[in-house]
Amino acid sequence: MNRLHLSAALLCLFTLAASAQNPTKWSFTATDAGNCQADLVLTGALEEGWCTYSQFLESEDGPVATSLTFNQGDHFKLIGKAVESGEIVKAHDPVFLMTLTKFKHKAIFTQKIEVLDPSKPITGYITYMVCNDEMCLPPREVPFSFTAPALKGCNTKH
């Protein structure tokens, strides 16, 4: 019976340690893109050895693809899909045993928007998953809020 308790305690500790681990730090900035538009930039800094995945994965059998969810409103309009940049690598993934597009060290997602009312924040969340060469952590949702930048020569309602 003592071994069963010890095993259960170790499993609980491992689960708590894995769920408390957060190898990604996110930052959010907005810049004027001209023509009453702004670029919303979501930057993930990944600890050494960890990676996160593209929005555009070719297979649903692998990791959870990164996704951006915006709380829609009449104060902005999305223009296209978010563009990816940062340290992008397309390589064999040892956890999923397939070739995947992933980010190491830095993941950047830039979403262009048309600003209709800069007085209201643009909110939503990013969903992402991180893995190292041995394991993956459960997907996370991180909320974001952007304030539209000062837009030069743009007549938006206030």
The single-letter code of the amino acid at 67 is S
* Residues shown for the chain: 158
C-alpha 58/C-alpha 90 separation (Å) is 12
Q: Which residue has the tokens 């830095």?
A: 106
Give this prediction's pTM.
Answer: 0.84
Mean pLDDT of 103-114: 97
**What domains can be seen in the chain, in order of their start residue?**
23-146 (2.60.40.1250)
Q: How do residues 120-137 score in pLDDT, each as one tens digit? A: 999 999 999 999 999 999
Whether pLDDT at 156 is above 90: no
Who contacts 141 (Cβ-Cβ below 8 Å, separation ≥6)? 125, 126, 127
Residue 150 or residue 89, greater confidence: 89
Cα separation, 28 vs 44, whole angstroms: 9
Report the amino acid identity of residue 10. Answer: L
On whether the CB atoms of residues 54 and 42 are closer than 8 A, the answer is no
Q: Cα(150)–Cα(158) distance, rounded to whole angstroms?
A: 12
State how far the Cα of 93 lies from the Cα of 135, in Å rounded to an integer: 11
% of the chain at pLDDT higher than 70? 85
Alpha helices in the chain, H assignment, sequence order: 2-20
Q: Which helix (H) or strand (E) holds 39?
A: strand 37-46
pLDDT number for residue 149: 87
